[in-house]
Every structure is written in C-alpha cells, then in structure tokens.
Structure 1
C-alpha cells in the first residue's frame, strides 16, 4: 500500500515538505485550533510530529498527508490514516484524522480530504475498518465523521490514555466505518 499523493476536486494530499513546517507550527500553536487537545505545541514538538508522520509513510505506505489547495498551493493542514498505537478496547486499529488551520474551516475541506483517505484505505490498503476518535467536546470533528458515514456507539466512548488524567479533553468518542458500509455509501 503506497500513497504519496491523493487528489480531490479542490485539494492535493501529499507528503510533507520542509516549507510546510512553519505554517504547521503556527497551526499547532493556535489555541483555537488546539482547543480539543491537551495543549498547543511549540515549534520543536510540531517539527517532531512531522518527522514521525514521514516515518509512518516510510513504515506503512500511508500516513497523515499534508493538505494544500490545488489552485493556489496554500497549506491547510493534514488529513490521513495512521495506526492507533495507544491501548484501548478497539486497538489495534487504523484511524482517519485531520487538523486544519482556521482559514481552512467551514469549506468542507476536512470531509473532502477524509473521503479521499478513506477511499485509499479501503481500496489500496485493503482495510476492513477505519476508526476516528476525538474529544467528546469536538462537535466539528464529530460532524465530519457523520458526513463520512461513520457511526458512534456511546458504549465505546473511552478515556484517552495519552491525555493527562483530569484533563477536560481526556474523555473521547469513537466512530467506526467498515468497508461494507463504505462501499454501500459510495455506490
């Protein structure tokens, strides 16, 4: 399973470049973007995340693609697939996720890009199921999950083990989508 680039009507999902690091660090330092995470990230932490993402591509053939507008080349954030490596009742699993700069909110980019990632995972990757998780308070991401055809079972809500105990964003929800559901929705 190798996916260096995916395209949609408006977006290019691609491997990371050095010039993505500065806008990505700004996105990760934005308190509004990071509202549903344990904290904002400094530049070193953000750069280390890019390095881990690129390592994931090398190891898995997929990862969190950098997302840019096709017309202008403007960097928007990321969308993609990654193994859920934390301990939870539903792991091991592959997760679809996204994070966009505020200037990319409200245009349907997350849904458009995530659909491309799901298609890649189910067709090229042969995955049987893809999950998505977010903090219980992240209504925007849950709306994207529903638009993707994913479903939530409240019995699967969990305390994210990588978020500090006592954090308001430790409670998480889990959404799932099986390949059969995806095929039925894509038809």
Structure 2
C-alpha cells in the first residue's frame, strides 16, 4: 500500500476496507456543509471510493485516507483532473468536523504539494471550493495559490485557485514514504 507518513498523519492509498470511513466523512452534514448537493449517500460514497481506487491503479496517485493514531479523520490529496481538455491536479480535502482547527489540512497539503512538485511539476494544482469556504481559501492563501477565472462566468458559487510547482526545489519536509509493510 502506498502512502506518506508526516509528523502526525498517515496519508495512504485507500482500499474498499475504508468504505465505512468514507461513508462517515462524506455523509456527515458538518463535513459537507459547502457541498451544494449536501451529504453524499452511502451508495455515492461506494462509487466515489471505487473510482479513487481505480485512479490509484491508473495514475499512481489520487486521494488518500487521512489517519491519526486515533483512526481516520478524512480524505484528501491530489487527483488528476481535466477541464476543457487541459489536465490539472486537484487538491482535495475533507475532514470530520472534530479534526478541524488542528492544522491537519496544512500538514496534508504540504505533503500533497511536495508530491505534485516531484511527480507532475508540469501541471498546475487547483483548489476548487465554495466561495464561502474560508478554511479552504486560507489553505490556498497559505500555500500561494492565486485566483484564476471560473470556466463558467455565470457561476458565482465556486472559486478557483491555482498553484504551480516552484522552478527550484522546495525545502525538504519530514514526510516519509511508506510501503505495504509500513517501513
């Protein structure tokens, strides 16, 4: 199993065994407060997790399950996406509300952007979020994402932010790549 260990988190490739955590996070009204469709159904969670697992197999990366010593607290990472034929990496994160305010999103985003800079420095990284999602916009600001125009000028709900890997190497992090045996 592929993943990364940071100071406080394990960010690993999800499996179908993670479906209960997927359902817990993505059906939580608090965790999905900025989703226009609201919480997902368990069936939608199953489809989405299946898609992420397939994307790990084809792309070599996608969204992680995010764990602390206390268990799963969310999902996030970078996934390969496309808009109008142009590829980009989407920085996604969704945490249980009890995990908010502890710096976990910053820690996960640091690992995800380091991965993006190493694996796909040619692609921009986007954050697409609701205009009122101040937590996500603070993460975007913290990492130097800049506003880009919406592909749909009539859409006032979503905002778009873009980040590009620096041309010189980023400072090393304390993140450690982990393998199936956890080493």
Offset, 1:181: 6.8
Q: Does 2:168 correspond to 1:173?
A: no
Match of 1:129 in 2: 124
Task: State the alpha-carbon separation in 1 of the partners of residues 156 and 42 from structure 2.
Answer: 24
Secondary structure (helix, strand or coil) at the match of 1:137 reads coil
Give per-residue Cα distances to partners, 1:105-143, cap 9 Å, x unaligned: 110101110110110111133444211111111111111
Count of residues paired in the alignment: 171
Task: State the alpha-carbon separation in 2 of the partners of residues 104 and 127 from structure 1.
Answer: 32
Task: State the alpha-carbon separation in 2 of the partners of residues 4 and 14 from structure 1.
Answer: 6
Offset, 1:83: 2.0
Q: Does 2:96 correspond to 1:101?
A: yes
Offset, 1:7: 1.5
Greater RCO structure (CA 8 Å; 6+ sep)? 2
Given the two structures, how large is their TM-score scaled by the length of structure 2? 0.82
Task: State the alpha-carbon separation in 2 of the partners of residues 120 and 86 from structure 1.
Answer: 21
Match of 2:54 in 1: 55
Q: 1:87 to 1:125 in 2, by over 3 A?
A: closer
List runs of 5+ in structure 2 lacking aligned partners: 173-183
List runs of 5+ in structure 1 lacking aligned partners: none
Q: Which of 3, 20, 28 in structure 2 is aligned with 1:5?
A: 3
Task: State the alpha-carbon separation in 1 of the partners of residues 24 and 156 from structure 2.
Answer: 24
Q: Does 2:73 correspond to 1:80?
A: no
Given the two structures, how large is their TM-score scaled by the length of structure 1? 0.81
The structure richer in helix per residue is 1
